[in-house]
Amino acid sequence: MKKTLGRIILIPYTFVLMNWAPVAGLYYFVRGRPMGIWNPAAVKRTLEERIV
């Protein structure tokens, strides 16, 4: 019984967890906050600073 209940709860939990990123993105878009976007040039510059 416990094992079956755990599997039943796992399905909606997985669905919500997998769809959380779009919800967070929509929230930031609606609020007008800047979103952190990956910038390869900034990453390269940061890595070069760490090496030196």
Walk along the chain (52 residues) and give the pLDDT tens digit of each residue: 667 877 888 888 888 888 887 888 888 889 887 666 666 666 666 666 676 5
Q: If we measure between CA atoms, which residue out of 27, 43, 44 comes closest to residue 35?
A: 27
pLDDT of residue 18: 83
pLDDT computed for residue 17 by the predictor: 81
**11-49 b/e with 16+ CB inside 10 Å = b?**
eeeeeeeeeeeeeeeeeeeeeeeeeeeeeeeeeeeeeee
